Structure 1
């Protein structure tokens, strides 16, 4: 769906979700934005905060582009879009227009993946100037992102920005996230909410996020301060290494784990965040955190068995040894036999040795798999 393919909207249409004045205001702002783009293009200027374009890679912008001209912008390989933003959206008609318009100030092209929305998310995003891809049903954030990344790769971009559609991320911070990637210093840049001491983050979120960070870092070997941040920039190497599977909100952790395993360079820059989003959050933070945590634990068990099995096994072994020795020592020195402690110590010792042995075997298998790949 392209901007020029949008059918004429009658303000008396019973399906419209905003009144006449809101619709008129939106269209006027969009028209003003297009006029500014046209004026700057005619002068050879670029929008504030955007990357200077190579004139050979630009299509002249006319006052009124035809449908065929607009379509060619999305398909003609002669005019690559160097900077692309991919935004997954599910029932975000209230915020998607603003997010797209503000994002377009800093990138060459915006792709919105409408993940089975039942409102006018797709129409508003198209009106704001985004290319819209649609899922017939809600498949989750990970699948929406993979669909957007696949489309973005067709343009052979230098970098792809990923951010949320609900307005919690500030598109004006895109240039800062782009800098390390465009300078060749990082393959993936994560916007960290915890590097910026000015963010007002609820205490329960901090506790939950730090727990997920600890688990993710233990499983991936990274040292990220915000493993769950959805505001990121992927360079070309990262775009060529998106051959992993993920579901729902696990994509952030899975991406870090996969890229770290492939030896890609991962960087961080501080970002702001706003939790006072118009449409609310799609999932309860507690259930979201528990889902991600359970996935991370499984990931740690698969990727780093020495941690998931070896560490608990080592602890149980130590407890078993001390409990058994204490019971035997008490028996010989005082004549008292602590049967419960002795049995518990032997049980802990056996279980601990089994876990340690299992971790060593699984770790050997992991190393074999790594060598084969």
Structure 2
């Protein structure tokens, strides 16, 4: 017995609604799909392109508010922040995870935000013309901020609401998802700011090593007892710290050379 009910796939529903549907030949992940959609928007010459997550957490009625700064010429990237408005009810564990990722993104991009992982955004024509960066999976939000900030694009946040009682929630476990994005951001920090990612830990380790050495020899002078374990650990920390600082200096020099080479190419072009 048939019920006569016909089921449609999301792409078919979008087609029936009159949307331009981009079909990917294979599943390349979130970043690949978003880039394809934004590139299509750029080819259409739109004044603003809005992106939002498809799990129903965002309210489409807030699209005008998110796009407004772009249309007014005040920003090139507008991020809908769940943390600017206290009315947005975000579970404590999600808030903690988001704050960790936002802090890491701020360190890596030198661009402070309150909600770096928000998928509700609006991009200007200038932003659409500067999508020449590589990104994979769910780290595209952080990669976008870092890339646009390095290009001097204007980034702004506006408050949005959010809901988590949706039927089609995120397929990935929040913990594994968060660690995956964090790992990518840490890699970004190492690439963009090697002195920060290698130099500071190296300096701290070297300080621990020097302190351990001072303690060891001071104790030997006072008690005639030599703490071999503390000395060995301190020497190891000093050696590793100096190695990290040297690595940071070398990588920073390479980054500066790459930046100056890229700048000369842009001037030549």
Interval containing the TM-score (normalised by the shorter chain): over 0.9
Deviations 1:194-244 (A, max 9, x none): 111111111110111111111111111110111100000000110110001
Give the counterpart of 2:19 among 98, 121, 130: 130
Q: TM-score, normalised by structure 1?
A: 0.68
Q: TM-score, normalised by structure 2?
A: 0.93
Give the counterpart of 1:274 among 137, 147, 163: 163
Residue 157 of structure 1: SS of its match in structure 2?
A: coil
Asked if 1:247 is matched to 2:136, the reply is: yes
User: Which of the two has higher C-alpha Rg?
Assistant: 1
Asked if 1:225 is matched to 2:114, the reply is: yes
Residue 123 of structure 2: SS of its match in structure 1?
A: strand
Residue 207 of structure 1: SS of its match in structure 2?
A: helix
Q: Is the 8 A contact 2:56 2:168 kept in 1?
A: no
Deviations 1:45-79 (A, max 9, x none): xxxxxxxxxxxxxxxxxxxxxxxxxxxxxxxxxxx
Give the counterpart of 1:178 among 67, 71, 79: 67
Give the counterpart of 2:79 among 165, 174, 190: 190
The answer for unaligned runs of 5 or more in structure 2 is 263-269
Q: Is the 8 A contact 2:209 2:234 kept in 1?
A: yes
Give the counterpart of 1:310 among 173, 177, 199: 199
- Following superposition, the deviation at residue 282 of structure 1 comes to 2.0
Residue 21 of structure 2: SS of its match in structure 1?
A: strand
Aligned to 1:333: 222
Deviations 1:320-361 (A, max 9, x none): 010000100110111111110111111111111111111111
Aligned to 1:235: 124
CA distance in 2, matches of 1:127, 1:282: 26
CA distance in 2, matches of 1:121, 1:138: 15
CA distance in 1, matches of 2:42, 2:88: 33
Residue correspondence of structure 1 range 81-100 to structure 2 within 5 A: none
Aligned to 1:265: 154
CA RMSD of superposed structures (Å): 1.5
Residue 134 of structure 1: SS of its match in structure 2?
A: coil
CA distance in 2, matches of 1:318, 1:231: 44
Residue correspondence of structure 1 range 11-160 to structure 2 within 5 A: 12=4, 16-17=6-7, 120-160=9-49
Aligned to 1:23: none
**Larger relative contact order (C-alpha < 8 A, sep ≥ 6)?**
2
The answer for unaligned runs of 5 or more in structure 1 is 1-10, 18-118
- Following superposition, the deviation at residue 128 of structure 1 comes to 2.5
